[in-house]
Amino acid sequence: MVKFRTKSNYAITLVILLFSSYTYSSCSGVLGRSVTGWDFSTASIGVGRVNIISNYLQPIGTVLATGISNYNTIRNGGLGNLSDDSIVLTCTSPNDKNNLAWAYATNGDSRIGGFYEIPGYPGYYATQFPYVAIKLSFADTGEVFSRIWTKSSVNVVTEDTSNGGFVIRKKHIPKVIATLVKWPEPYGKTTDANGNNVSNTYCHGLGAREDSIPTSQTSNPNQVWTADLYAVNGLAAGCGQPSGYINLLGSGGYQVIIGQDSNKNVYAWDYSIPIGLNGSPAATFSYTPSCVVKTVTPYVIFPTVSINQLNSGEKISKNFDITLECDNTINKSISTAAVSVGLQPSLSAFNHAQTLGLIDPTTGGVTHLVSDNYTDQNMAKGVGITLQNSDGNSINFVSWVGCIPVASGYTSYCPSFTSLEQQRSAGWDPIMSASSQISADPVNATTSYRKTYVSTLGKINNMTPTIGKIKATATVLIRYP
């Protein structure tokens, strides 16, 4: 993690339950009324390719990826192909706000969805990817998903209408953070710690099984598998199971039953919103030789700069380093086929960048890093940080919403980059680009490299700088081609 600062300051179960789970209201729309919860209607979590390597470079417990739910890439079901501003619930009485709440649970009747909680890793559940466990939590509150349907404290965002009612738009659906970690076993068990058996062992991938992915590297180290239930972009179909669901309570539609175990009670799952690895564009999996981040310059301190200097075009640059340790057999080319490095803004900084229009429309890369709490009255406005490698190549910051997908039938996939310029615009620079070897480890067959970056503080085009502090955070990520 790199911190940038200014120097000055720094199946329905029982029919008898049907009526108790359908509440009256004056609402209409998609939520609770249209089927949104089928496996192929899952929201993507944008983690891209998940890669497993040796326990030496990647110890058990390593965080493999972090992503966020993206409802805009859903291609099927009631939420499919709707824009951010699409209305998904309309209510004519303001009193209906009083009963609204979001509920959440894991996909508890699937051992690769959200049934088997990993021993020693509370809130993490086994997935269809060997050695990969997932935790879901609300971005706004941090509430962690479990098998028990729970009422969330997440605020239900609404928009008042001129007739005295209100609407909920697709963009108001709360965001869910997905965190993936490495655990010792390839697959979850069919019996949990309390002796309960998983309710289902189905697999909605076309011809796939829950354990269809090999548990070690094959003869082809570049083999990639997908979590999608469709065979897409030349990759074999995975099992296609979501990791969890959210459901809107109090809308007058079908709603889940709070306090029930999602392994046994699946009422209204099909009117819920699924989230997970299988969401289009789906996550992929490999055992490709790779690199890990070992060290990073923890702080980049910029000196004080005046408004006049910024308005006159003056910029301030500071270098920082990232060191990486890599398998000796990695692709050492400076190309789109190589492992690459990127810096991702904090989620709050990314959200501010979106609001400010600092997103490349073609690649989704973030052009400027702004303060984590940019809107705070003490923070400088109209200024941001840009990035280059030490060879002078401009590099954007990495988006939180994943790639800009290519549609393919009922699903989509992340396209390959066609040039280094395009890849860097999305925020990724090949490991060997602007890097130098610093050491070798013949015992573990690894080599360490240093990459130097140039961060530059300056005025954001067409914005007026204001007095204040800069405090921005970015995390170093590794990407597999």
Confidence of residue 85 (pLDDT cuts 50, 70, 90): very high
**Which residue bears the tokens 């086929």?**
337
- Mean pLDDT, the chain, as a whole number? 93
Regarding whether 309 and 272 lie in a shared domain, the answer is no
Regarding whether 298 and 170 lie in a shared domain, the answer is no
Q: pLDDT, tens digit, for every residue of 104-115?
A: 999 999 999 999
Q: How far apart are CA 406 and CA 422, in angstroms?
A: 15
The pLDDT assigned to 26 comes to: 85
Of the listed ranges 29-33, 89-93, 236-240, the least confidently predicted one is: 236-240
DSSP 358-404: -B-TTT--BS-B--TTTTSTTB--SEEEEEEETTS-EE-BPPSS---
Using alpha carbons, list the distances in angstroms from residue 338 to 420, 475, 479.
11, 20, 9
444 is a domain residue: yes
139 is a domain residue: yes
Coil, strand, or helix at residue 264?
coil
Query: Is residue 204's pLDDT more than 90?
Result: no
The pLDDT assigned to 212 comes to: 86
**Which residue bears the tokens 């993206």?**
70
Query: With pLDDT > 70 as the criterion, what percentage of the chain qualifies?
Result: 94
The pLDDT assigned to 18 comes to: 29
The pLDDT assigned to 1 comes to: 66
Among residues 149, 273, 143, 282, the alpha carbon closest in space to that of 205 is found at 282
* Mean pLDDT, range 186-195, rounded to an integer: 95
Regarding whether 165 and 17 lie in a shared domain, the answer is yes
What are 97's two structure tokens? 């706000």
Confidence of residue 24 (pLDDT cuts 50, 70, 90): low
Determine contact, residues 180/134, Cβ cutoff 8 Å.
yes
Burial class of residue 409 (count of CB atoms within 10 Å of its CB; 0-12, 13-18, 19+): exposed
Q: What is the pTM of this model?
A: 0.92
Query: Is residue 5's pLDDT more than 60?
Result: no
The pLDDT assigned to 44 comes to: 97
The pLDDT assigned to 7 comes to: 39
Q: How far apart are CA 294 and CA 347, in angstroms?
A: 23
In the chain, the number of structural domains is: 2
Residue 406 belongs to a domain with what CATH number? 2.60.40.1090
**Which residue bears the tokens 């699409």?**
86
Regarding whether 457 and 356 lie in a shared domain, the answer is yes
* Mean pLDDT, range 147-166, rounded to an integer: 97
Regarding whether 255 and 161 lie in a shared domain, the answer is yes
Query: Is residue 261's pLDDT more than 50?
Result: yes
DSSP 402-450: ----EEETTEEEPPPPSSHHHHHHTT-EETTTTEEEEEEETTTTEEEEE
Query: Is residue 21's pLDDT more than 60?
Result: no
**Domain span at 429:** 289-479
Strands 176-182 and 63-68: what pairing? Answer: antiparallel
Q: pLDDT, tens digit, for every residue of 262-298?
A: 999 999 999 999 999 999 999 999 999 999 999 999 9
Query: Is residue 76's pLDDT more than 60?
Result: yes
3 is a domain residue: no
Regarding whether 308 and 165 lie in a shared domain, the answer is no
1 is a domain residue: no
